Amino acid sequence: MSSDYQQVLDTIHRDVQPLLRQGKVASYIPQLSTVSPDHFGMAVFCLDGRTYTVGDADVKFSLQSITKLFAFALAFAREGDDVWKRVGREPSGNPFNSLVQLEYERGIPRNPFINAGALVITDILATRYVQAEIAVQQFARLLANEPAIDFDHTVAESERSTADRNTAMAHFMKDFGNFHNPVDIVIDAYCRQCSLTMTCAELAKAGSFLAQHGTIPWSGTQILDPSSSKRLNALMLTCGTYDAAGDFAYRVGLPAKSGVGGGILALMPGEASIAVWSPGLDEAGNSLAGTYALERFTTLTARSIF
Ligand code: GLN
């Protein structure tokens, strides 16, 4: 049972135009700053297979932290509750790249969606797989049913050359015994993983298993059991948009994961997954127009998880 969302998307596309230049395109990864702030794309993938798109929904963009969702889902599927020995599940209330909590919480990051937590997850994957980033890529290909999902090597190298803060975090966690592989190997894998690109249409499809109790809707492949999928949705709601998660839940009311490339993946459990992309970011590092678009979506459709 799904609605016709095309009209809603067309309305949103019109309404976001004045916002596109109000956000700030990420520049701490130099290559990301070359992307035009004028882009806006949105895709809704309904669990019955219908897809609605608008704007630049077929343009590839840098997933960045959205890959933390795929990396975590893969680690959670393989390791189960053991992941919680290495990372917490509380919102951090701090910027995604903050180091401060790591010291007094003894090298255990607050959650898998801030950089420190994602680095631990990549470390877990690096223990299990020969190349963690290839495991995440293969997983993303499976989820999107799209064999061409690939890295953007220019973005990966750009991030690698400015990765001092993430490298510092990894060394710090190693000192506390919460990092098992060589830091350089994990940072390399993490920068490549973050450089994966997708279109909104691909991303909405890739996230749809989390709207359907952990099972890929079109193939019936179970990725996570329903309970784990429900928990991952909760984690997205509370931690998926960094220290703006409270405001995002208030405005949008859907579990979501954002990235500094300007993408956001949001879930309507039991009904659809939604991907939006607009590169201009707000102060917390979430897409400014993308957040507004999702807010409009849940307002216009009178749907949210609440
Ligand atoms: N690769 C980015 C980083 O580690 C991801 C950050 C993000 O998207 N919030 O800084």
Ordered DSSP codes for the chain: -----HHHHHHHHHHHGGGTTTSEE--SSGGGGGS-TT--EEEEEETTS-EEEEESTTS-EE-TTHHHHHHHHHHHHHHGGGGGGT---S--SS-TT--HHHHHTTT--S-TTSHHHHHHHHHHHHHHSSSHHHHHHHHHHHHHT-TT-EE-HHHHHHHHTT-HHHHHHHHHHHHTT---S-HHHHHHHHHHHHTEEE-HHHHHHHHGGGTTTTB-TTT--BSS-HHHHHHHHHHHHHHTTGGGHHHHHHHT-S-EEE-TTSEEEEEETTTEEEEEE--EE-TTSSBHHHHHHHHHHHHHTT-S--
Interval between CA 13 and ligand 1 midpoint (Å): 26
Determine which one of 260, 273, 278, 292 is catalytic.
260
- Region of poorest pLDDT, from 13-17, 121-125, 242-246: 242-246
Q: Which of 61, 98, 157, 260 to mutate to test the pocket of ligand 1 (most atoms within 8 A of CB)?
A: 260
pLDDT at 169 over 80: yes
The whole-number pLDDT of residue 3 equals: 73
196-233 tens-digit pLDDT? 999 999 999 999 999 999 999 999 999 999 999 999 99
- Closest ligand 1 atom, residue 190 Cα: 1
**104 C-alpha to center of ligand 1: Å?**
23
The pLDDT confidence band at residue 4, using thresholds 50, 70 and 90, is confident
Whether residue 257 lies in the annotated active site: no
- Residues above pLDDT 70, as percent of the chain: 99
Pocket of ligand 1 from Cβ distances under 6 Å: 64-65, 96-97, 115, 159, 166, 194, 259-260, 285
**Catalytic entry in 54, 62, 120, 190:** 190
Q: pLDDT-based confidence at 95, cuts 50/70/90?
A: confident
How far apart are the C-alpha atoms of 72 and 270, rounded to whole Å?
21
Q: Considering only CA atoms, which residue is closest to atom 4 of ligand 1?
A: 115
Bridge partners of 268, per DSSP, are 272
* 104 a catalytic residue: no
Residue 43, phi then psi, degrees to nearest 5? -140, 140
Q: Which atom of ligand 1 is nearest to the CA of 115?
A: 4
For residue 166, the ligand 1 atom closest to its alpha carbon is 4
Of 5, 52, 54, 65, catalytic: 65
Residue 10 Cα to ligand 1 midpoint, Å, equals: 30
Residue 132 vs residues 179, 224, 230, 238: alpha-carbon distances, Å? 14, 19, 25, 26
**Position in ligand 1 atom list of the atom nearest CA 64:** 8
98 noted as active-site residue: no
- From the alpha carbon of 242, which atom of ligand 1 is closest? 9
Respond yes or no: is residue 155 known to be catalytic: no
**Separation of 113 CA from ligand 1 center, angstroms?**
10
Task: Give the sheet arrangement for strand 41-46, strand by strand.
Answer: 51-55, 41-46, 272-277, 263-268, 256-258
pTM: 0.97
pLDDT at 94: 85
Which comes out higher in pLDDT, residue 36 or 2? Answer: 36
- Which is catalytic among the residues 60, 68, 205, 257? 68
Pocket test for ligand 1, best of 24, 27, 31, 64 (most atoms within 8 A of CB): 64
Is-catalytic flag, 250?
no
Q: How far is CA 50 from CA 2, 9, 60, 72, 250, in A?
A: 8, 14, 21, 27, 28
Amino acid 163: pLDDT: 96
Is residue 1's pLDDT more than 50?
no
